Amino acid sequence: MRLPGAASIHLEEITMPFSSWKPLLVLAAIATSGAAFAQADWPSKPVRIVVPFAAGGTTDITARVIADELTKAVKGSFIVDNKGGAGGNVGAAEVARAAPDGYTFLMGTPGTQAINQFLYPKMPYDTAKDFAPVSFVVRVPNVLVVHPGVSARSLKDLIALAKSKPGALSYGSPGNGTTGHLSTELFKNQAGVFVTHIPYRGSGPMLLDLMSGQIQLAIDNLPSAMPHIKAGKLVALGVTGGKSNSQLPDVPPVASVLPGYSAESWFVLMAPAGTPPAIVNRVSAEVDRILKKPEVIERFKGLGAEPVGGTPEQLGQFIAAETGKWSQVVKASGAKID
């Protein structure tokens, strides 16, 4: 009995002698071994980790730590390539369009992987479809900092100052749609103040302007802000997690003044969709091992960052949950980018 429309197959078509099949088997073996060799030989050239922001920010710092450690771990060259612009969209789009051959990765952020899709009317990539999760690198609290010339020395002082001079203060962010941007918008909404937003192409240039007094305040990732806080070039008024941070034990959480306030950042390694699972799993396992090294833990701890690690599947689940959370934050803030 034959299914309707099925092709008729005759026995003589499949009972040819082995000598006739041998060339086909050889070709199949070559194709299979070629693919396996390509992965076994990886990396045979430099591997890029694209940072979608300017050098000097937390995304950049995190990527350079991981690139240095991966270079030692796999005996290949990992380099950081800064591609800032459009809240991280420029660099992320470049990775989304890259060949899925294991030679291009993205140091993703809440903006590139969860937030921007709700802010921008037109995205240059599909957040859910164009990337393969690789490894959760670090979780990072944010900190509200002001220029030393600002008279406020507490969160209550800052709120009172902003209310007394609506629009007179300006705040910087690493870019539209970044957690620095939305964290400050959330702060403004809950505090009932108006402060002018000045977006930058990353934390590095933003912090330079903040330290020179071109802008008055910012909410930035703790690792990039910490050296300047310790040097007295910036004054920390509040951390954005639910509790005080061990690196700034005397700085209260913003939630102590604005109950319920919470906004943290995270940094994750992503690959273009379609990257061979063998390469994705190898990099993920190496990063997970790297993040357990005492010297790496101490390095990130000194910056105020918490190493995470885990599997690609766990990272995918985390990003899905964060996407749902930040969609609500964007909606509540009313933020949009033309």
Q: CATH 3.40.190.150 occupies which residues in the chain?
A: 47-139+265-333
Q: Please, what is the average pLDDT of the chain?
A: 88
Q: How far is 112 from 106, CA to CA, in rounded Å? A: 10
Per-residue pLDDT tens over the stretch 121-144: 999 999 999 999 999 999 988 999
Ramachandran quadrant class, 288 (left: phi over 0; alpha: psi -120 to 50; beta: rest): alpha
**pLDDT at position 12, please?**
37
Name residues whose C-beta falls within 8 Å of residue 71's C-beta, 6 or more positions apart in sequence. 77, 78
Phi, psi of 305 (to 5 degrees): -105, 150
In this prediction, residue 326 carries a pLDDT of 87
Give the whole-angstrom CA distance, residue 115 versus residue 87. Answer: 10
Distance CA 8, CA 39 (A): 39
Distances (CA, A) of 123 to 3, 80, 127, 158, 316: 46, 24, 9, 36, 20
Radius of gyration for the alpha carbons in the chain, expressed in angstroms and rounded? 24
CATH architecture entry for 141-256: 3-Layer(aba) Sandwich (3.40)
How far is 265 from 254, CA to CA, in rounded Å?
Answer: 15
Secondary structure of 19-51 as H, E, C letters? HHHHHHHHHHHHHHHHHHHHHHCCCCCCEEEEE
CA pseudo-torsion sign 67, 226, 136, 177 = negative
Q: What is the pLDDT of residue 10?
A: 38
Omega within 30 of 0 (cis) for the link into 294: no
Rounded Cα distance, 178 and 220, in Å: 10
The predicted pLDDT at position 245 comes to 86
| Of the candidates 264, 315, 272, the residue with the CA atom closest to the CA atom of residue 93 | 272
Q: Enter the tokens of residue 82.
A: 């800064």
**Tell me, what's the pLDDT at 15?**
44
Tokens encoding 63: 């990527």
CA angle 156, 160, 164 (to 5 degrees): 170
Model pLDDT, residue 247 = 86
User: pLDDT (tens digit, 9 = 90+) per residue, 6-19?
Assistant: 333 333 333 444 45
Strands 170-173 and 217-221: parallel
229: which 2 tokens?
Answer: 């806080």
Neighbours of 34 (CB within 10 A): 9
Residue 136 Cα distances to 98, 123, 133, 285, 290, angstroms: 21, 24, 8, 11, 12
pLDDT value of residue 157: 98
- Say what the pLDDT of residue 39 is: 58
Instruction: Enumerate residues 6+ apart whose C-beta is below 8 A from 2.
Output: 8
Q: In this structure, are strands 131-146 and 264-272 parallel, antiparallel, or unpaired?
A: antiparallel
Q: Identify the CATH class of 47-139+265-333.
A: alpha beta
Q: Hey, is 56 helix, strand or coil?
A: coil
Which residues of the chain are in CATH 3.40.190.10 domains? 141-256
The reported pTM is: 0.77
CA nearest 190: which of 336, 337, 334, 333?
333
Q: CB under 8 Å, gap of 24 or more: what pairs does 59-63 form?
A: 59/107, 59/109, 59/202, 59/203, 59/267, 60/202, 60/203, 60/204, 61/223, 61/224, 61/303, 62/107, 62/137, 62/138, 62/223, 62/267, 62/300, 62/305, 63/107, 63/267
Write out residues in the chain with pLDDT < 50, as ranges. Answer: 1-18, 20-38
